[in-house]
Amino acid sequence: MKAGILQVAANFNHTLSADEVAWLKETGARIDTKDPGNVDPEEFYRFVNAAAHHWKLCPLAREEERREERNENYNQTAPANQTAPSNQTSPGNHTM
């Protein structure tokens, strides 16, 4: 589970704080009770869902999927030499 959490954090360019690490350890210990140290599929499912809920990752994942979908749709309809616009604005193009 540790490797998975570290990978998710890396994907979001996030460094876990001491409080977050403590939360992970406490939550993992609460969930991994059948055979401590050997997480079964049900315990893994419960832990992953607890972490996703704690960090509100589902809305972030949904937004990323939408962004990818918009880029794919744009790239399918754009001329061959154009790609999807980035999320950044140019100095003269400010949006609110």
Quick: pLDDT tens for 22-72.
Answer: 999 999 999 999 999 999 999 999 998 898 888 888 887 778 888 888 888
**Is residue 12 domain-resident?**
yes
Q: Tell me which of 68 and 94 has the higher pLDDT.
A: 68
**Is residue 92 domain-resident?**
no
**Is residue 88 domain-resident?**
no
**Is residue 93 domain-resident?**
no
Q: Which domain holds residue 42?
A: 2-75
Say how many domains are in the chain. 1
**Is residue 44 domain-resident?**
yes
What pLDDT is stored for residue 91 in this prediction? Answer: 43
pLDDT at 84 over 80: no
What pLDDT is stored for residue 81 in this prediction? Answer: 64
Instruction: Specify the DSSP element, H or E, that contains 18.
Output: helix 18-31
Q: Give the orientation angle of helix 41-54 with respect to helix 18-31, to 10 degrees.
A: 150
